[in-house]
């Protein structure tokens, strides 16, 4: 039930609202009837409740990811009654912490209303914490003993979230397997959630995959890319395969190019040391943007089951040749003398960044999918930090209308899926300008979520994905062969950049990035008219 049901949540805009104060069996109810249906489906599902108890273990409970994302997400799911009632939360890290200190650190990110304080207290009563060393088997033996001491633990299902740096993945997963095997013999299942980066290149990724597969089966491993949990990324499948109007034009005959964009208006801000080890291609392009590309380009799967969807994504990636340096522009931001605050500082001004670093903070790359549907259509991936706006979107630009009778007054149609912020789907089209004259004008057909769904709350990406792990749905997680193909596409480029120490092009903090990137896009066929800009109707 779970995989299909959660797909219907994304496809039909089954969105969660804030819970009211009304209660049933101690669980706050939502004002939304759909929320009630979701809760009923989950709590009646036999697979979801094959065991009464679930234990969610946060490895790296002292870190920023746990504090800002994992604990708040677990709280929201618990608050809304979406988790099994007998779910225990166990933090594990090297730091000497208490549940109270974890609560204090997480509270600013948990968005707790005054009426929810009692429910929050109930959440933390089901929390515990243990300190230990990641490479020490004895620490994991103590952790296992603690898990077995929890109510219902003898048959409990266990979920391990690795909110950790990749350098300790091998030690942690090996110790989990050595000391947690009792779970397998008793009957509960074990699932491991692995955060990116999944290696630095094809070789290191394959080493990690081989290590994990020696300890766990593929259906136990959940490689999380949080972009796959975003509302509009999940909506891509429904737009494509749930609407007759898009099918006939979603191909090389009608699409001139596809642009996938990720822009941030801030720099590394003290995280330069971490970022410098990876760069923008590893951080964003090889995962987030390539995942969106595969959803845009794939063929219709035979069903919405996890493997059917991921099979089609892998087929697309296999059709993409390794990206060439001739189709890439790299950039690195410099300070803006007229800016304010951090905008005055360039990437190399960050004291955590090595002097003279060539790590790119901006990249535009052109990929081609060599199959019957997309042959010759450029897929333009662009991403960067310290740019002029915050935006993530998918943009399909269609070919010119043949037989122009309006003397060049018409611009190309575009379909835009705006992932963040201000989620929206809109189509740029030509219409007659109102009035006495017979002049075409560019306008839009607009589905802006903030206007159409005013009284609903879009779940956070981590909410969707962690709930998927509880339910055993891997549709929105990265499979090992999918990961292998993604690294195959980018590894030769990454090695060339590092081997030849290719210097990135400087661009000013707060700009659109290097002008050379716009020139590359124009050269491969993207046409930027600059006559129209989408306006969020929710703010009018």
**Are the beta carbons of 478 and 223 closer than 8 angstroms?**
yes
Nearest to 161 by CA among 283, 309, 43, 61: 61
Helix (H) or strand (E) holding 361: none
The rounded mean pLDDT for the chain is: 85
Which one of 201-215, 395-409, 446-460 scores highest in mean pLDDT? 201-215
* Active-site annotation holder among 18, 226, 288, 476: 288
Kindly state the tokens that stand for 365. 């790359």
Higher pLDDT, 392 or 28: 392
What mean pLDDT is predicted for residues 98-102?
A: 94
The confidence score (pLDDT) of residue 363 equals: 97
Phi, psi dihedrals of residue 65, rounded to the nearest 5°: -60, -45
Percent of the chain residues past pLDDT 90, beyond the cut = 59
Q: Is the pLDDT assigned to residue 35 strictly greater than 50? A: no
The confidence score (pLDDT) of residue 28 equals: 38
Higher pLDDT, 17 or 199: 199
Q: Is the pLDDT assigned to residue 16 strictly greater than 50? A: no
The confidence score (pLDDT) of residue 443 equals: 76
Model confidence pLDDT, tens digit, residues 126-146: 999 999 999 999 999 999 999
Nearest to 126 by CA among 83, 96, 94: 83
CA distance 157 to 472: 11
Count other C-beta atoms under 10 Å from residue 415's C-beta.
Answer: 21
Q: Is the pLDDT assigned to residue 25 strictly greater than 80? A: no
Q: Is the pLDDT assigned to residue 45 strictly greater than 80? A: no
Distance of CA 16 to CAs 10, 29, 197, 237, Å?
A: 11, 11, 30, 20
What mean pLDDT is predicted for residues 381-395?
A: 95
Question: Cβ contacts of residue 37 below 8 Å, gap of 6+?
Answer: 14
Active site residue 184: no
**Are the beta carbons of 229 and 466 closer than 8 angstroms?**
no
Q: What share of the chain is helix, strand, coil (3-state, %, to 5)?
A: 40, 20, 35
Q: Is the pLDDT assigned to residue 51 strictly greater than 70? A: no
Helix (H) and strand (E) counts for the chain? 19, 17
The confidence score (pLDDT) of residue 532 equals: 58
Percent of the chain residues past pLDDT 70, beyond the cut = 87
Q: Is the pLDDT assigned to residue 29 strictly greater than 50? A: no
Higher pLDDT, 410 or 292: 292
Model confidence pLDDT, tens digit, residues 492-528: 999 999 999 999 999 999 999 999 999 999 999 998 8
What mean pLDDT is predicted for residues 263-280?
A: 87
Work out the burial of residue 105: count CB atoms within 10 Å of its CB; fewer than 13 is exposed, 13-18 middle, 19 or more buried: middle
Q: Is the pLDDT assigned to residue 451 strictly greater than 80? A: no
Distance of CA 211 to CAs 39, 372, 417, Å?
A: 37, 37, 37
The confidence score (pLDDT) of residue 98 equals: 94
The confidence score (pLDDT) of residue 533 equals: 66
Question: Cβ contacts of residue 120 below 8 Å, gap of 6+?
Answer: 75, 79, 110, 112
pTM here is: 0.86
What mean pLDDT is predicted for residues 386-393?
A: 93
The confidence score (pLDDT) of residue 487 equals: 96
Model confidence pLDDT, tens digit, residues 316-347: 999 999 999 999 999 999 999 988 888 889 99
Model confidence pLDDT, tens digit, residues 484-496: 999 999 999 999 9
The confidence score (pLDDT) of residue 319 equals: 97
The confidence score (pLDDT) of residue 14 equals: 35
Model confidence pLDDT, tens digit, residues 196-235: 888 889 999 999 999 999 999 999 999 998 888 888 888 8
The confidence score (pLDDT) of residue 314 equals: 96
Q: Is the pLDDT assigned to residue 22 strictly greater than 80? A: no
The confidence score (pLDDT) of residue 256 equals: 95
The confidence score (pLDDT) of residue 4 equals: 36
**Are the beta carbons of 332 and 505 closer than 8 angstroms?**
yes
What mean pLDDT is predicted for residues 278-299?
A: 94
Count other C-beta atoms under 10 Å from residue 118's C-beta.
Answer: 10
**What DSSP assignment string belongs to 115-161?**
GGHHHHHHHHHTEEEEE--TT-HHHHHHHHHHHHTSTTGGG-EEEEE
**Are the beta carbons of 304 and 475 closer than 8 angstroms?**
yes
Task: State the pLDDT confidence band at 403, using cuts at 50, 70 and 90.
Answer: confident
The confidence score (pLDDT) of residue 105 equals: 94
Q: Is the pLDDT assigned to residue 415 strictly greater than 70? A: yes
């Amino acid at each position: 039930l779970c995989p299909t049901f959660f797909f219907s949540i994304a496809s039909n805009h089954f969105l969660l609202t804030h819970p009211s104060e009304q209660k049933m069996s101690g669980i706050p109810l939502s004002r939304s009837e759909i929320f009630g249906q979701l809760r009923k489906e989950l709590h009646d599902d036999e697979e979801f409740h094959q065991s009464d108890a679930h234990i969610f273990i946060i490895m790296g409970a002292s870190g920023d990811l746990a504090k800002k994302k994992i604990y708040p997400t677990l709280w929201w799911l618990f608050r809304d009654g979406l988790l099994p009632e007998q779910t225990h939360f166990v933090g594990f890290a090297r730091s000497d912490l208490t549940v109270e200190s974890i609560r204090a650190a997480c509270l600013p990110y948990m968005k707790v209303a005054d009426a929810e304080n009692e429910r929050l207290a109930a959440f933390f009563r089901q929390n515990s914490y243990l300190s230990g060393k990641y490479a020490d088997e004895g620490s994991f033996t103590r952790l296992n003993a603690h898990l077995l001491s929890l109510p219902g633990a003898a048959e409990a299902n266990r979920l391990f979230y690795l909110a950790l740096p990749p350098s300790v993945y091998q030690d942690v997963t090996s110790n989990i397997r050595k000391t947690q095997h009792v779970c397998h013999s008793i009957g509960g299942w074990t699932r491991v959630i692995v955060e990116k980066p999944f290696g630095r290149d094809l070789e290191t990724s394959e080493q990690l995959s081989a290590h994990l597969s020696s300890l766990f089966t593929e259906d136990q491993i959940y490689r999380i890319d949080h972009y796959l949990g975003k509302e509009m990324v999940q909506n891509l499948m429904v737009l494509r395969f749930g609407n007759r109007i898009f099918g006939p034009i979603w191909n090389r005959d009608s699409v001139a190019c596809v642009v996938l964009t990720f822009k941030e208006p801030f720099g590394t801000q003290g995280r330069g040391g971490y970022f410098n080890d990876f760069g923008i291609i590893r951080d964003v392009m090889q995962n987030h943007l390539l995942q969106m590309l595969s959803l845009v380009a794939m063929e219709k799967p035979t069903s919405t089951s996890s493997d059917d969807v991921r099979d089609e994504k892998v087929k697309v990636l296999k059709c993409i040749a390794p990206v060439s340096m001739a189709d890439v522009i790299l950039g690195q931001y410099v300070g803006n003398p007229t800016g304010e605050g951090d905008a005055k500082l360039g990437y190399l001004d960050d004291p955590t960044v090595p002097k003279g670093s060539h790590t790119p903070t901006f990249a535009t790359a052109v990929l081609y999918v060599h199959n019957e549907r997309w042959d010759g259509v450029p897929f333009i991936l662009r991403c960067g930090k310290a740019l002029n706006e915050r935006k993530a979107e998918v943009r399909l630009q269609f070919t010119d209308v043949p037989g122009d009778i309006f003397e060049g007054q018409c611009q190309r149609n575009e379909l835009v899926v705006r992932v963040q912020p201000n989620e929206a789907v809109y189509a740029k089209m030509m219409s007659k300008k109102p009035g006495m004259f017979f002049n075409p004008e560019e306008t839009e057909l607009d589905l802006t979520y903030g206007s159409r769904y005013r009284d609903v709350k879009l779940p956070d990406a981590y909410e969707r994905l962690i709930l998927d792990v509880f339910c055993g749905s891997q549709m929105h997680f990265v499979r090992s062969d999918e990961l292998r193909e993604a690294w195959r596409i980018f590894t030769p480029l990454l090695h060339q950049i590092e081997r030849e120490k290719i210097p990135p092009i400087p661009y000013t903090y707060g700009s659109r990035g290097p002008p050379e990137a716009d020139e590359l896009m124009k050269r491969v066929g993207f046409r930027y008219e600059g006559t129209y800009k989408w306006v969020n109707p929710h703010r009018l």
